[in-house]
Structure 1
Amino acid sequence: MSQHRSARAAVFSAGSWGTAVAKILADAGTNVIVHARRDEIAEAINTVHRNPGYFPDVELPASLAATTDPAAALHRADYLVLSIPAQSLRTNLALWTPHVGPDTLIVSLMKGIELGSGERASQVITEVTGVSADRVAVLSGPNLAREIMDGQPAAATVACPDEDAARRFQQACHTSYFRPYTSTDVIGCELGGAVKNVIALAVGIASGMGLGDNASAMLITRGLAETTRLAVAMGAHPATLAGLAGLGDLVATCSSPLSRNRTFGTHLGHGLSVEQATAATRQTTEGVKSAEAILALAHAHSVEMPITQVISALLYEKVTLDEAAAALMQRPPKPEC
């Protein structure tokens, strides 16, 4: 592949996080083309250099182009960067796979677990495309799209079994405001990114119920403990969960009002139903979709995940808010570690 300054990245699609990563890549000197589902979004990116659907107030780099044609987006692409809802990955990727080049590195931005199969995004990608695992990378970390669009400092982890591939993508997205680190622990990065969304729902619920910072800190800390238990049982390195893709992402998602999962939880804590909270949030909330799949993974690996269990029960209206809070606080006392 050519030097990173002339590398080509196709970003699918033009949602909030996809747009933010497309901007990062373009600012790093990578040639970027965004695949948008709607003609008006692609046209706006190409003509006025803005994404009116998500960030109408932010001017995108002039070098960033867009198209609704997946074949055109993927033509000679060194990187296919996927930022779509985890539950629609399998169906969409099957349509795009014929256009993926033989040496293209596929980079997942997705933070969810597929319902039914219980598979992480990287596993779905290798299944659908037939590429080897060392051609699939994951980008994960405490990355709130709005802050990145404003050029505020952030960092993330690029994980891939092939260290050279991770380093190539690291170079392709390294800017003055975005600092990527590398790792080979794909499992740890993906599980950290998926489970933190469920924990953020719990923190949002606690906030919506009027509970204080002590409760939030408890949920974040114990949430990290159950995330680490599951990740290690599935083959991850515990240090990954103490890093950017674990603790870092967890803190940002649980603490910020910019977090859609925390916001969704806050709506639930205020007494809204799941349907009402979905309407109020308007964007994909991966924690809602993935909670049941994560809980199934926990059962399969004999891992105790009490917060995830309670949130899953609450989402499926098996328990009330008060019963959920009581279930977490009335568990038998035990040693911390």
Structure 2
Amino acid sequence: MKSDLKNITIIGAGAWGSALASLVKTNDHSVQIWSRQSNLSLAEVVINSDAIISAVSMKGVRAIAEQLQSAKLLPHAILVSATKGLEPQTRQTPSQIWRSLIPDHPLVVLSGPNLSKEIMAGQPAATVVASSDEAAAQFIQNIFASRNFRVYTNSDPIGVELGGTLKNVIAIAVGACDGLNLGTNAKSALITRSLIEIIRVGVYFGAQPETFWGLSGLGDLLATCNSNLSRNYQVGYAIAQGMSLEAAIASVSGTAEGVNTANVLMEISDREKIYVPVSRYVDRLLKGEITLQQAVEGLMERDLKPEN
């Protein structure tokens, strides 16, 4: 019914924002995409929006949220964070930034195994929308759900968000593993052990451990670590082929958030004494402190221990 159609604003005109816009358009909702190149101001675009979806890179989140602080939003407008990363200055997640700056609107986190190119090609996929506000999560579920895109709700937004954020660091490691042709056994071990340390960090942030076994955790990890469409995977692969970090980053289209996330994660893990050996080797590799061969040897030569 036409009365059920909503006005949706998507902030960010990159591959991810465009993919999200295509999904909303499938359900005939009115969609506006805003970017810094738009003729209208952000405040003008969002004035009648039922939902505002942020699909910008991590470095742009705070500036966008600050702009929306002074905008006249509909009282029921829902904010959706679809960004994966950690802010270097504050070590906050995107949703924590949104919540601190615009606390009076429902906030939903969208994350899952969602490669933009596959979505744009109409290939089937699934995602998770998480919020402490169940009605808000269901609203976002309904505007996105379609025959080719299955949407699940979840009540653990920080867990859903961190699954998508932390797996980017691991994707760099797995890309390097494939770049060195270390084999399926090594790759499987790397992904599995990495999931354990992702859960360890998530629990520190207050997430539910079981969230990481779902689409936004294990699902996203598998997608990102098994596809050369992943920017973070591409960076790791390029480094294994002998490229410098700068050249590897320049070779990919868009932002490989895992590079910055690794650095912020190390600050958190050092302060809170969280054991994250895979992520630590990735960070040291990216900083040029060790070679890729030393990283592999270091991971294999650690003390013997029980699996859990």
TM-score normalized by the length of structure 2 = 0.95
1:28 to partner: Cα distance: 2.0
Find the counterpart in structure 1 of residue 91 from structure 2.
Answer: 118
Could you list the per-position Cα deviations for residues 113-158 of structure 1 after superposition, in whole angstroms to 9, with x for gaps in the alignment?
Answer: 11121101111112223436xx111001000011100111100110
Q: Which amino acid aligns with 1:125?
A: W
1:107 equivalenced with 2:80 (yes/no): yes
Find the counterpart in structure 2 of residue 56 from structure 1.
Answer: none
**Aligned mates of 1:100, 1:264 — CA distance in 2:** 40
**Aligned mates of 1:251, 1:3 — CA distance in 2:** 38
Correspondence for 2:61 among 89, 101, 106: 89
**Aligned mates of 2:245, 2:117 — CA distance in 1:** 25
1:222 to partner: Cα distance: 0.8
1:100 to partner: Cα distance: 5.0
Correspondence for 2:146 among 147, 172, 175: 175
1:325 equivalenced with 2:296 (yes/no): yes
Find the counterpart in structure 2 of residue 37 from structure 1.
Answer: 36
**Aligned mates of 1:4, 1:159 — CA distance in 2:** 25
Could you list the per-position Cα deviations for residues 281-325 of structure 1 after superposition, in whole angstroms to 9, with x for gaps in the alignment?
Answer: 131011011111122222343320001111111111111111111
- Could you list the structure 1 runs, at least 4 aligned residues long, displaced by more than 6 angstroms after superposition: none
> Given that residues 4 and 168 in structure 1 are in contact (C-alpha distance below 8 angstroms), is that contact kept between their aligned partners in structure 2?
no
Q: Which amino acid aligns with 1:76?
A: N
**Aligned mates of 1:13, 1:27 — CA distance in 2:** 19
Gaps (5+ residues) in structure 1? 40-66
Find the counterpart in structure 2 of residue 73 from structure 1.
Answer: 45
**What is the aligned-residue RMSD (CA, Å)?**
1.7
**Aligned mates of 1:199, 1:255 — CA distance in 2:** 11
SS in 2 for 1:99: coil
Which segment is superposed worse, 303-312 or 292-301?
292-301
**May I ask how many residue pairs the two structures share in their alignment?**
307
> Given that residues 4 and 30 in structure 1 are in contact (C-alpha distance below 8 angstroms), is that contact kept between their aligned partners in structure 2?
no
> Given that residues 206 and 216 in structure 1 are in contact (C-alpha distance below 8 angstroms), is that contact kept between their aligned partners in structure 2?
yes
1:178 to partner: Cα distance: 0.5
Could you list the per-position Cα deviations for residues 184-239 of structure 1 after superposition, in whole angstroms to 9, with x for gaps in the alignment?
Answer: 10111111011100000000011112211111111111111100111122211111
**Aligned mates of 2:82, 2:301 — CA distance in 1:** 37
> Given that residues 7 and 31 in structure 2 are in contact (C-alpha distance below 8 angstroms), is that contact kept between their aligned partners in structure 1?
yes
Find the counterpart in structure 2 of residue 157 from structure 1.
Answer: 128
Correspondence for 2:234 among 263, 280, 289: 263
The alpha-carbon distance between structure 1 residues 244 and 33, as it changes in their structure 2 partners (threshold 3 A), is same
Find the counterpart in structure 2 of residue 311 from structure 1.
Answer: 282
TM-score normalized by the length of structure 1 = 0.87
1:97 to partner: Cα distance: 2.8
> Given that residues 10 and 34 in structure 1 are in contact (C-alpha distance below 8 angstroms), is that contact kept between their aligned partners in structure 2?
yes
Correspondence for 1:297 among 246, 265, 268: 268
Which segment is superposed worse, 139-148 or 82-91?
82-91
Q: Which amino acid aligns with 1:27?
A: T
Q: Which amino acid aligns with 2:238?
A: H
